[in-house]
């Protein structure tokens, strides 16, 4: 291990340069105009993996390519006849969120910029920087010829930010070669540099596009206002009914299957360092908000939500335009927690809107992709091994946390490959994922490499 750690220590500058090259590639999966750039990014990543000594393949899909990179057979420690070394899968995504609004970036999103201890670029934290840390740790083993006590496979996809539509069939098709003893993902957050944490739960998600249609075209609001219903008004009041002023979702049945937080969990979440006033400052809100009886940490990770993500109707240009808009549309998502079922909650939401919608307009609801919530026991043998690796890398007692975000493939990947998913997030709370000035702390990058290096020692020893 000494050689591995020394290799990591002495190569940080080069790693940072390489990460910058990776970040220059604008792999925006949601916008078709970037399709070629996404494929170029996959090719760059694959070439890089090959250079590190990994056996690498790029798989075409109906959408963006998937990169698979494996440690070669001669990289692992010799095994006694009849026994086998464990296999771990590292999942990540090389696709990134759209960079808009560009005017709010201090530097261009695909021209990585190092300032202080942060590297700024779209995808720096979510997720290129995070899985790159694992690649660099495995590189250190390979280049120093330190035998790995396990096989490691990287699966880096290009469609996470659009719900991973092509990954499930891929997992089924490659099930036997991808079957793993655990799946490691660094694509979430950590509370602070001095607060390493294991994430034992993710929220699930369901999405909708709700359109309310009124008159066959926009109408003069003076000539017809008061005599026909207004789609924007109707949509707003429907949406307003979906959540009470107390922060609770007001859709009947919504909470029926929600697993309550245990006393153990509440104690763990209360140990996390960000307190109410820190959140208030970090987020720049005049006051925090949410269900009574829960802390901000609990509300943001362990309770379900109904949120408007986008809202459009009528005239948005300069000055005024007196119309009754012909239509109004909202993009909406619900975050789900154990044991809510995406299909059942989707049904409840659809029924609610259909029931509440007045007969003066037409309602159209399109359902988008969804994913189930995910949770493991933080006391499982592999989770305990990960906690030991966190302790070794950070020199501090790790915390247990839940995350409010979703990684749609996680529940299915766990099921198809028959392995627990261990979430070891490396992004700080002000990493600005999905927002302007996304950034990754170079110290998180370095600690992440160390964490990964220790993981390959600890994970094969789950019983300790």
Kindly state the smallest distance separating residue 451's Cβ from ligand BES, in Å.
17
**Residue 122 or 136 with smaller CB distance to ligand BES:** 122
Give just the sign of the alpha carbon dihedral 381, 383, 385, 387: negative
Shortest distance, position 134 Cβ to Zn ion, whole Å: 17
Residue 311 Cβ, how far from ligand BES at the closest point, in Å?
Answer: 18
Q: Any alpha helices (H) in 357-434, and if so which ranges?
A: 381-394, 410-417
Give the CB-nearest residue to Zn ion.
Answer: 126
Nearer to ligand BES, 228 or 435 (CB): 435
Q: Which CB, 126 or 139, lies closer to Zn ion? A: 126
- Find, among 109, 106, 105, the residue nearest to 26 by Cα: 109
Q: Which residue has the tokens 């399109």?
A: 366
CA distance 98 to 34: 10
* Residues constituting the chain: 464
What minimum distance in Å lies between the beta carbon of 161 and ligand BES?
Answer: 5
Q: 53 or 404, CB closer to ligand BES? A: 404
Q: What, of Zn ion, ligand BES, none, does residue 188 touch, CB below 5 to 8 Å by kind? A: ligand BES
Distance CA 117, CA 16 (A): 11
Query: Sign of dihedral through CA atoms 421, 427, 429, 430?
Result: negative
Cα angle: 25, vertex 30, 35; to 5 degrees: 50
Please state the closest distance from residue 368 (CB atom) to ligand BES, in A.
8
How many residues touch Zn ion under the rule CB under 5 A: the total is 1
Smallest gap from Cβ 99 to Zn ion, in A, equals: 13
Q: Which does 99 bind (CB under 5 to 8 A by kind): ligand BES, Zn ion, none?
A: none
DSSP 81-145: TT----EEEEEEE--B-----GGG-SS-TTS-EEETTEEESTTIIIIIHHHHHHHHHHHHHHHTT
CB of residue 74 to ligand BES, shortest distance in Å: 34
Please report whether residue 403 would count as binding Zn ion according to CB under 5 A. Answer: no
Alpha carbons 240 and 326: distance in angstroms, whole number: 20
Nearer CB in complex with ligand BES: 187/297: 187
Site for Zn ion in 110-139 (CB under 5 A): 126
Cβ proximity to ligand BES: between 205 and 238 the closer is: 205
Tell the smallest beta-carbon distance from residue 159 to ligand BES (Å).
10
**Minimum distance between the CB of residue 237 and Zn ion, rounded to whole angstroms?**
32
Report the distance separating Cα 23 and Cα 48, nearest Å.
13
Half-sphere exposure of 215 (CA within 13 A, CB side): 17
Q: Which residues bind ligand BES (CB under 6 A)?
A: 126-127, 160-161, 163, 187-189, 205, 403, 405-408, 433
> Closer CB to Zn ion, residue 189 or residue 196?
189
3-state secondary structure of 10: helix
Closer CB to ligand BES, residue 265 or residue 403?
403
Q: Provide the minimum distance between the beta carbon of 29 and ligand BES in the complex, in angstroms, as a whole number.
A: 10
**What gap in Å lies between CA 229 and CA 216, rounded to an integer?**
12
Residue closest to ligand BES, measured at CB: 405
Which of 160/298 has CB closer to ligand BES? 160
Binding mask 19-38 for Zn ion (x = CB under 5 A): --------------------
User: What is the 3-class SS of 316-347, one letter each residue?
Assistant: CCCCCCCEECCEEEEEEEEEECCCCCHHHHHH
Selection from Zn ion, ligand BES, none that 186 binds (CB < 5 to 8 A by kind) is none
- C-beta of residue 42 within 8 angstroms of C-beta of residue 159: no
Tokens of 422: 């261990």
The alpha-helical segments, DSSP class H, found in 11-62 are: 12-23, 35-52
Q: How far apart (Å, rounded) are the C-alpha atoms in residues 217 and 197?
A: 54
- Nearest alpha-carbon partner for 131 in 448, 409, 378, 365: 448
405 binds, among ligand BES, Zn ion, none (CB under 5 to 8 A by kind): ligand BES
Q: Which is nearer to ligand BES, 149 or 436 (CB)?
A: 436
Say whether residue 298 binds Zn ion (CB under 5 A): no
Q: Which chain residues interact with Zn ion by CB under 5 A?
A: 126
């Amino acid at each position: 291990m000494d050689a591995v750690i020394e290799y990591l220590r002495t190569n940080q500058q080069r790693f940072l340069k390489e990460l910058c090259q990776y970040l220059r590639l604008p792999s925006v999966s949601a916008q078709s105009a970037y399709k070629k750039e996404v494929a170029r990014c996959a090719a760059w990543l694959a070439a890089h993996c090959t250079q590190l000594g990994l056996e690498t393949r790029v798989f075409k899909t109906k959408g963006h390519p998937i990169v698979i990179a494996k440690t070669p057979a001669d990289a692992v420690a010799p095994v006694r006849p009849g026994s086998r070394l464990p296999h771990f899968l590292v999942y990540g995504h090389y696709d990134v969120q759209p960079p808009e609004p560009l005017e709010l970036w201090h530097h261009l999103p695909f021209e990585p910029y190092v300032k202080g201890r942060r590297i700024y670029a779209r995808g720096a934290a979510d997720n290129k920087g995070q899985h790159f840390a694992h690649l660099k740790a495995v590189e250190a083993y390979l280049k120093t010829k330190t035998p790995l006590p396990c096989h490691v496979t990287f699966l880096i996809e290009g469609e996470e930010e659009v719900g991973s539509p092509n990954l499930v069939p891929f997992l089924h098709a490659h099930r036997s070669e991808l079957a793993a003893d655990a799946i490691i993902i660094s694509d979430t957050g950590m509370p602070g540099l001095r607060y390493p944490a294991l994430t034992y739960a993710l929220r699930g998600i369901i999405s909708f596009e709700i359109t309310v249609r009124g008159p066959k075209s926009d109408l003069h609001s003076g000539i017809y206002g008061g005599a026909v219903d207004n789609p924007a008004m109707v949509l707003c009041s429907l949406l307003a009914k979906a959540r009470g002023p107390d922060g609770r979702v007001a859709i009947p049945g919504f909470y029926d299957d929600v697993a309550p937080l245990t006393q153990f969990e509440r104690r763990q979440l209360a140990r996390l360092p960000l307190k109410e006033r820190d959140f208030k400052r970090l987020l720049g809100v005049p006051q925090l908000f949410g269900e009574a009886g829960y802390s901000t940490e609990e509300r943001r990770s362990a309770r379900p939500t109904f949120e408007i993500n986008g809202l459009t109707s009528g005239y948005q240009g300069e000055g005024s335009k007196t119309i009754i808009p012909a239509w109004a549309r909202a993009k909406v998502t619900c975050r789900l927690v154990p044991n809510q079922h995406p299909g059942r909650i989707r049904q409840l939401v659809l029924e609610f809107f259909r029931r509440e919608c007045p007969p003066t307009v037409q309602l159209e609801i399109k359902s988008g992709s969804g994913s189930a919530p995910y949770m493991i026991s933080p006391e499982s043998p592999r989770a305990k091994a990960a906690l030991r690796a966190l302790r070794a890398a950070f020199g501090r007692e790790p915390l247990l946390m839940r995350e409010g975000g979703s990684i749609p493939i996680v529940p299915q990947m766990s099921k198809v490959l028959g392995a627990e998913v261990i979430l070891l997030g490396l992004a700080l709370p002000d990493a600005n994922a999905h927002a302007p000035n996304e950034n990754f702390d170079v110290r998180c990058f370095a600690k992440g490499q160390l964490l990964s290096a220790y993981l390959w020692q600890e994970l094969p020893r789950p019983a300790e």
